[in-house]
Structure 1
Amino acid sequence: MRHRLLSVVRAATMLALVPALACAQPRSAPVPTKDMQLFLLVGQSNMAGRGTVEAEDSTVVPRVFMLDARQQWVPAREPMHFDKPKVVGVGPGRAFGVDIASAWRESEIGLIPAAVGGSSIRSWEPGAMDGPTKTHPYDDAIVRAKAALASGRLAGILWLQGETDSNAQGPADYEQRLRAVIANMRRDLDAPDVPFLIGQMGRFAEKPWTVHRTRVDSIHQLVARTTSRSAFVRTDGLKHRGDTTHYDTPSVREIGHRYAKSFLTMVPAPARR
């Protein structure tokens, strides 16, 4: 009899909790359509982001989505990348996406995070591996982009890379390799005219550029100037987070805004339906 009474009490308690539990459940996340404007985010750690995540970086913004590590569309929240989970933080991609959504009011924006911190441009070619992360940056980016294409069209590629190759050997063939990255991505994603935006490497007063980094920067500018549908995005005047390598959170958001401004000068908003 005592056991039966306890069962009744437990059942009543659970029934009383149901409304509270239901209220505690998160609202269902918005689901994107099949007509998204997609942007591939590639390069190394400053594209992946190392800024400290703040409240505004986790706020859901209507019509701005990201492809997560499981290749599922979810609202774009920082950190978006997953290259190095212990250190990844705020990157420029989300701020870029929010600006594009604001300008393209009838479009849903799909961001495809695929940067790998510390990756050399040599790992951004088909079949190549990045040793420290044991990943294949180029191949993985293409796989993720192709999965995303089921939900829309590729509208742009954002590139922010170069620090790892700013050494005595790196600049020698950097131009050739960067041109190959652009050509390969456009070919493999069947997007021969997709805009390719090249971001400038971080330049901070506390850590003057070496001659090698200056050479890589000049290559970035040359390739952007001489490649169709390409642009160079300046990142001067910004701050690092204290390590003279990675941008702080406000600065990395500003880079996203600058990418968006550059992109919007190249590509008109889609026609209103």
Structure 2
Amino acid sequence: MKPARQPLRLLLAAVGAAAMLSFLLLLAPPQNLSFFSSYSYSPYAHRPKLLFLLAGQSNMAGRGAVLHPLPEPYLPHPRILRLAASRRWVPAAPPLHADIDTHKTCGLGPAMPFAHRLLLRGHHVDDELLVLGLVPCAVGGTRIWMWAKGQPLYESAVARARAAVADGGGSIGGVLWFQGESDTIEIDDATSYGGKMERLVADLRADLQLPNLLVIQVGLASGEGNYTDIVREAQKNINIPNVLLVDAMGLPLRDDQLHLSTEAQLQLGNMLAEAYLKFNSSRGSML
């Protein structure tokens, strides 16, 4: 009987290995830089920060191809932090939305170059080193009604914003909003977009107790349906104080003709930063 034991032993070893592999696959660690950065420590984690909510759908979450090596505006910086899904502050490293927009493969978005540009222009705030806190909230494929007050995406964004302020203090500098591609599919969604966006801004300001909260929305560069022009027109016609429009039309797209390329995301980040800096300059801010 002894010769039969070796195949049995091999079979049991194979079953054990398969079970371990299945366990590891269930863990599904993100295959990106942010997985590693989530275990890194930043001495600025509990310092007051200038906070920015990153909200909307896939082009805000980032679908730009991850280049190797990373362009300099995407490299980690000790004073650029990200609020992880666990609501812990970790060093920001792309893809920023890997643990938020979990059903898709995230890539490069506009937030890292935006943050780098701000650091270049504002090294101190009230005699303190400027620390930036990015709060990812965007989820690909979402329509604007999914961001209405009471919906999970809205409530999660508000909760994350409050958590960001509570952990170390600081203030919310604004919301970077890039969404609307999914609202170009149905005519009813497209024609009602403007009213829903205005309601969203009002609800965020009320719930965050920031009546003058800055919202920088990105004008669509593309759409999933035939009503992109209607949504773009709605974006342009939103006439609320402290709501700015940065138009992405004309920026290069990936082959799918829907998502911005890495080059475009880098350019958009700089455009968003310039809009923010110009807005603050008009108010006499040092940053």
**TM-score, normalising length from structure 2?**
0.76
- 1:194 matched to 2:210? The reply is no
Residue 278 (structure 2) pairs with residue 260 (structure 1):
no
Equivalence for 2:141: 118
Question: Which amino acid in 2 is paired with 1:110?
Answer: G
Cα deviation for residue 149 of structure 1 reads 0.8
Aligned to 2:177, which of 159, 172, 196?
159
For 1:243-254, list aligned pairs within 5 A.
243-254=256-267
- Which residue matches 1:8? none
Alignment counterpart, residue 171 of structure 1, candidates 165, 190, 193:
190
How many corresponding residue pairs? Answer: 234
Does structure 1 residue 56 correspond to structure 2 residue 70?
A: yes
Distance of aligned partners of 1:126 and 1:28 in 2 relative to their CA distance in 1, 3 Å threshold: closer
Alignment of 1:104-253 (within 5 A): 104-106=122-124, 107-128=130-151, 136-150=152-166, 151-166=169-184, 167-203=186-222, 210=226, 212-223=227-238, 226-253=239-266
Structure 2 unaligned blocks of 5 or more: 1-38, 125-129
Q: Gapped runs of 5+ residues in structure 1?
A: 1-25, 129-135
8 A contact 1:32–1:108 mirrored in 2: no
Deviations 1:227-246 (A, max 9, x none): 10111101133212211111
Matched, 1:46 2:59: yes
Taking a change above 3 Å as real, the CA distance of residues 27 and 66 of structure 1, as seen in their structure-2 partners, is closer
Q: State how far apart, in whole Å, the 1-side matches of 2:256 and 2:234 are.
A: 25
Tell me, yes or no, if the aligned pair for 2:83 and 2:135 is still in contact at 8 Å. Answer: yes
Q: Does 1:80 align with 2:80?
A: no
Relative to structure 1, the CA distance from residue 113 to residue 216 in structure 2 (aligned partners, 3 Å threshold; closer, same or farther) is same
Secondary structure of 2:250's aligned partner: coil
Match for 1:96 among 114, 117, 131? Answer: 114
The CA distance in 2 between the partners of 1:265 and 1:254, in whole Å, is: 16
Query: Percent identity at matched positions?
Result: 31
1:11 alignment counterpart: none
Shift of 1:34: 3.2
Q: Provide runs of 4+ in structure 1 moved above 3 Å.
A: 26-30, 268-272
Say whether residues 1:36 and 2:49 are aligned partners.
yes
Contact 1:30 1:75 in 2 (8 A): no
- 1:29 CA displacement: 3.4
| Structure 1 CA distance for aligned equivalents of residues 228 and 221 of structure 2 | 10
User: What SS is found at the alignment partner of 2:108?
Assistant: coil
The alpha carbon displacement at 1:86 in A equals 4.0
In 2, Cα distance between the equivalents of 1:88 and 1:271? Answer: 34
Identify if the C-alpha distance between structure 1 residues 86 and 122 changes in structure 2 by more than 3 Å, giving closer, same or farther: closer
The aligned residue for residue 14 of structure 1 is none
CA 1:203 to 1:28, structure 2 compared with 1: closer, same or farther past 3 Å? closer
Contact 1:37 1:110 in 2 (8 A): yes
Report how far residue 137 of structure 1 moved: 1.0
- Determine which of 73, 79, 83 is the counterpart of 1:67: 83
Counterpart Cα distance in 1 of 2:161 and 2:88? 12
Decide whether the 8 Å contact of 1:240 with 1:248 is kept in 2. yes
User: One-letter code of the match for 2:70?
Assistant: E
Partner letter of residue 127 of structure 1? G
Between the aligned partners of 2:40 and 2:106, the Cα distance in structure 1 is: 27
Tell me, yes or no, if the aligned pair for 1:40 and 1:113 is still in contact at 8 Å: yes
* Distance in 2 (alpha carbons) for counterparts of 1:74 and 1:101: 18
Residue identity opposite 1:233 in structure 2: V
| Alignment RMSD (CA, Å) | 2.1
Q: Is the 8 A contact 2:113 2:270 kept in 1?
A: yes
Residue type at the aligned position of 1:220: Q
Q: Tell me by how many angstroms 1:195 deviates.
A: 1.0
